[in-house]
Structure 1
Amino acid sequence: MKLSGAAAIVGIHESPLRDAREVHPFELQMQCVLAALDDAGLVLSDVDGLCSASGDWAEGGAVESVIEFAEYAGLQPTWFDGTDVGGCSYVAHLGKAATAIAAGLAEVVVISYAACPRWWPLKTPSFDPFVLPAGPGQYELPYDPTLISAYGMFAHRHMHLYGTTPEQMAQVAVIFRRHALANPHARMRKPITVEDVLASPLVASPLHRLDCCVVTDGGGAVVVTSRERARDLKKKPVHVAGFGAAIHRTQLSQMDREIRTPAALSGSRAFAMAQLTPRDIDVAQIYDAFTITPMLALEDLGFCGRGESGAFVSDGHLDIDGSLPTNTDGGGLASNHPGKRGIFTLIEATRQLRGEGPGVQVQGAEVALAHGLGGTFCSAATAVLTL
């Protein structure tokens, strides 16, 4: 509880590029870092902490990516973290950065990410990267699963258990696309209907093409500092009121039969630290690699009951005028998804609290939630942000 409010987000930047042809991911990441520092009224020499995880396909680095990027940026941070637990890594980094700042281990921490999958010459493998020919993955490898087919199995299981319909999942894509229409940088800005989603090609039953995230280049950076120093900087600080992270398993065969994800732990921890509840959230940014993804998060984070996310979406709660406006920039389904989208949930949550949403803006928002996941619901991280 003592960590609540000890640190604040003071600078953010999201690259407007969605197709950064021939731009190295580190160059794109560096552009975001410098712009985020400028947003805060800081310079590179102020930075003594760095969080970066850029070792996957199209991210430009290797297993020691935090060292590689620090060298590229000309930084020698006294505190750093390169933990990679998939797409939620940067939300988890925020919690670690806040902890380091509260402990006096760092004063200004930059969290950054970029990837360029649209042109990167080393192609992403078609198989599920968690199914390797060693360890527990060897028992699933003969079935040749893909990442999308794994999410399709989660969707089928939810439909079997709770009667969730393809129409309800499609509604997620329709709402987030509607939010993207006003975002000048969103990849997809053409309105769609439930019928459009269901008529798009089937990729991995029951998921259609429009149930799946876009594939874009992109990058972003977040600057975090102490509550005290934040008072003297250029922009309105957004305080880290609570955070939580959790990991579960890598293999699909070990999934919870009731489809409980690590968000059930990461969310409860974040809310407890912030001393808030789901009812206190004014706006949410929830990882949406596929339409089923935010639906499971809504249940595990406590916004609706187990198996009730389909009705929750259909009732309009995620709309800009609903009880929980969600993915106000268009999310991964419409705005951008370079590969690990967690950092963009932090950026858009901060923009909403500042009143700087690039597209739709929730008026008077004071409490925001940023939530990410990694792999096939293998990990999760949640942050509660306040003014």
Structure 2
Amino acid sequence: MSIKGKAYIMGAYEHPTRDAPDKSTPQLHAESALGALKDAGLSKDDVDGYFCAGDAPGFGAMSMADYMGLKLRHMDSTETGGSSYILHVSHAAQAIAAGKCSVALITLAGRPRQNKFGFGGPRLKPGELGDGPPEAGFENIYGGTTHNTYGMCAMRHMHEYGTTSEQLAWIKVAASHHAQWNEHAFLKNVVTVEEVVNSRMIADPLHLLDCCVVTDGGGALIVTSPEVAKSLNRPKVKVMGAGEAPKGPAGGQDLDLTYSGAVWSGPRAFEEAGVTPADIKYASIYDSFTITVLMQLEDLGFCRKGEGGKFVADGNLISGVGKLPFNTDGGGLCNNHPTNRGGITKVIEAVRQLRGEAHPKVQVPNCDLAIAHGTGGSLGVRHGAATLIMERE
């Protein structure tokens, strides 16, 4: 069953906090939910489907449904890291198309600044096993971190295609040009290529400014059936297509660090939507690191493999200048990145663009078709990819 035109995103809300010492994680979920419901013109009593990921405390969807007083017919707590919430829009549309619910609430929230874990969770000392997924016993003992994995991807891409640190820096520059207009952005200052490459090294070749920010915060979305959407006095954002795919190292055999699961999830989404990359007016691309963006742009078909460096260095990601404005809220590189699962903000900003509600300085003219894409896990190695294509009706 195709989900094309079977569901609409009718509510979107991004929590304004970036540092929340006085709020609990469930509270951030609930406040985000209320914001999205208000945006849609609905109440919590209208919600009959609920979606969340591993950031939800306790027993996930079950605990949050109890906390928020939801009476549900359907719930889903699929976890795929940073791509979870892009994937949840697709899963909500599937549930709506199957008649399992008619008003789906999706919430994300986290307080990593209070937990002091930062991006990728707590740091382990070399030789310290700790808890983790099946591969942890083989990798954590060497002191590996998220930064190291992404650094390896960047280094390999440079080796294979001649990509440079200066080219990667243009992604941060573009994000900062957009963040300056976002009153809630964690980093509002416009930066230069020189400032990025001169910032301290984190995981060679990635510098400090190649990395996303770490913030508290949250967000929520309301996805409805076409019938409910027609009853609401809000701009309608139609779900057109979606794709999802895992990528793993397969025991290290034939491992290629230079591509992501977008090579599979992207074509599936474009095929279902009946559009091509050339039709997209705005792109929300998950930006845990600058290399994350570059590889996903290539894998989604916005440029050829190996040509991402030139594509971004030509200024193509800057709204009002380039061919493909991206992350006009500042993204994870400048705006916010709660819980290591910041994908929901990618959908929220895409909804703003399609409604014509983005900041006037970054609003894309005649924005009628947008894409949101995310990866969760370790780019190039072990992760889940999710792609979502939306259209203004």
State the TM bucket, normalised to the shorter chain.
over 0.9
Q: Which residue is 2:346 aligned to?
A: 345
Query: What does the per-residue CA deviation read over 1:170-222, in whole Å, with 9 as the maximum and x for residues that have no partner?
Result: 11101111111111111111111111011111111111110000011110000
Q: Which residue is 1:66 aligned to?
A: 61
1:250 Cα deviation from its structure 2 partner: 6.7
Give the letter for the 2:391 counterpart.
Answer: T
1:228 Cα deviation from its structure 2 partner: 2.4
Q: Which residue is 2:220 aligned to?
A: 221
Query: Which secondary structure state, in structure 2, belongs to the residue aligned with residue 158 of structure 1?
Result: helix
Q: Distance in 2 between matches of 1:216 and 1:342?
A: 14
Alignment of 1:47-66 (within 5 A): 47-53=47-53, 55=54, 59=55, 61-62=57-58, 64-66=59-61
For the pair 1:24 / 2:36, whether they are aligned, the reply is no
Give the letter for the 1:277 counterpart.
Answer: T
1:258 Cα deviation from its structure 2 partner: 5.8
For the pair 1:176 / 2:175, whether they are aligned, the reply is yes
Query: Which secondary structure state, in structure 1, belongs to the residue aligned with residue 114 of structure 2?
Result: coil
Q: Which residue is 1:192 aligned to?
A: 191
Q: Distance in 2 between matches of 1:169 and 1:251?
A: 28
1:42 Cα deviation from its structure 2 partner: 0.5
Alignment of 1:318-337 (within 5 A): 318-320=317-319, 321-337=321-337
1:293 Cα deviation from its structure 2 partner: 0.3
1:252 Cα deviation from its structure 2 partner: 9.2
For the pair 1:106 / 2:129, whether they are aligned, the reply is no
1:375 Cα deviation from its structure 2 partner: 0.8
Q: Which residue is 2:114 aligned to?
A: 119
Closer, same or farther: CA 217–252 of 1 in aligned 2, 3 Å: farther
Contact 2:172–2:210 (CA<8 Å) still a contact in 1?
yes
Q: Which residue is 1:306 aligned to?
A: 305
Identify which range, 270-279 or 133-142, moves more after superposition.
133-142
Q: Which residue is 1:163 aligned to?
A: 162
Alignment of 1:210-359 (within 5 A): 210-249=209-248, 253=252, 256-257=255-256, 259-320=258-319, 321-338=321-338, 339-358=340-359
Give the letter for the 1:158 counterpart.
Answer: H
Give the letter for the 1:365 counterpart.
Answer: C
Q: Distance in 2 between matches of 1:333 and 1:242?
A: 26
Query: Which secondary structure state, in structure 2, belongs to the residue aligned with residue 89 of structure 1?
Result: helix
Q: Distance in 2 between matches of 1:120 and 1:232?
A: 42
Closer, same or farther: CA 367–146 of 1 in aligned 2, 3 Å: same
Closer, same or farther: CA 131–155 of 1 in aligned 2, 3 Å: farther
**Aligned length, in residue pairs:** 382
Q: Distance in 2 between matches of 1:130 and 1:280?
A: 47
Query: What does the per-residue CA deviation read over 1:41-84, in whole Å, with 9 as the maximum and x for residues that have no partner?
Result: 1000000000011x3xxx4614x211111111111311110000
Closer, same or farther: CA 376–9 of 1 in aligned 2, 3 Å: same
Query: What does the per-residue CA deviation read over 1:16-44, in whole Å, with 9 as the maximum and x for residues that have no partner?
Result: 11111221011011011011111111000
Give the letter for the 1:297 counterpart.
Answer: Q
Closer, same or farther: CA 163–185 of 1 in aligned 2, 3 Å: same
Contact 1:8–1:239 (CA<8 Å) still a contact in 2?
yes
Q: Which residue is 1:362 aligned to?
A: 364
Q: Which runs of 5+ in 2 are unaligned?
A: none
Give the letter for the 2:123 counterpart.
Answer: S
Query: Which secondary structure state, in structure 2, belongs to the residue aligned with residue 363 of structure 1?
Result: coil
1:127 Cα deviation from its structure 2 partner: 4.2
Q: Distance in 2 between matches of 1:30 and 1:71?
A: 11
1:371 Cα deviation from its structure 2 partner: 0.6
**TM-score (normalised: structure 1):** 0.94
Q: Distance in 2 between matches of 1:231 and 1:78?
A: 22
Contact 2:176–2:187 (CA<8 Å) still a contact in 1?
yes
Contact 1:250–1:376 (CA<8 Å) still a contact in 2?
no
Q: Distance in 1 between matches of 2:133 and 2:25?
A: 30
Closer, same or farther: CA 280–7 of 1 in aligned 2, 3 Å: same
Match of 2:82 among 77, 87, 101: 87
Contact 2:175–2:330 (CA<8 Å) still a contact in 1?
yes
Q: Which residue is 1:384 aligned to?
A: 389
The Cα RMSD (Å) is 2.1
**Percent identity of the aligned residues?**
46
Q: Which runs of 5+ in 1 are unaligned?
A: none
Q: Distance in 1 between matches of 2:12 and 2:253?
A: 37
1:141 Cα deviation from its structure 2 partner: 3.2
1:137 Cα deviation from its structure 2 partner: 3.4
Closer, same or farther: CA 190–25 of 1 in aligned 2, 3 Å: same
1:138 Cα deviation from its structure 2 partner: 2.6
**TM-score (normalised: structure 2):** 0.93
Q: Distance in 2 between matches of 1:379 and 1:363?
A: 32
Query: What does the per-residue CA deviation read over 1:272-312, in whole Å, with 9 as the maximum and x for residues that have no partner?
Result: 00000000100000000000001000011000111110011
Query: Which secondary structure state, in structure 2, belongs to the residue aligned with residue 4 of structure 1?
Result: coil
Q: Which residue is 1:40 aligned to?
A: 40
Identify which range, 242-251 or 96-105, moves more after superposition.
242-251
Give the letter for the 1:341 counterpart.
Answer: G
Q: Distance in 2 between matches of 1:250 and 1:111?
A: 31
Give the letter for the 1:204 counterpart.
Answer: A
1:335 Cα deviation from its structure 2 partner: 0.4
Q: Which residue is 1:137 aligned to?
A: 136
Give the letter for the 1:318 counterpart.
Answer: L
Closer, same or farther: CA 189–130 of 1 in aligned 2, 3 Å: farther
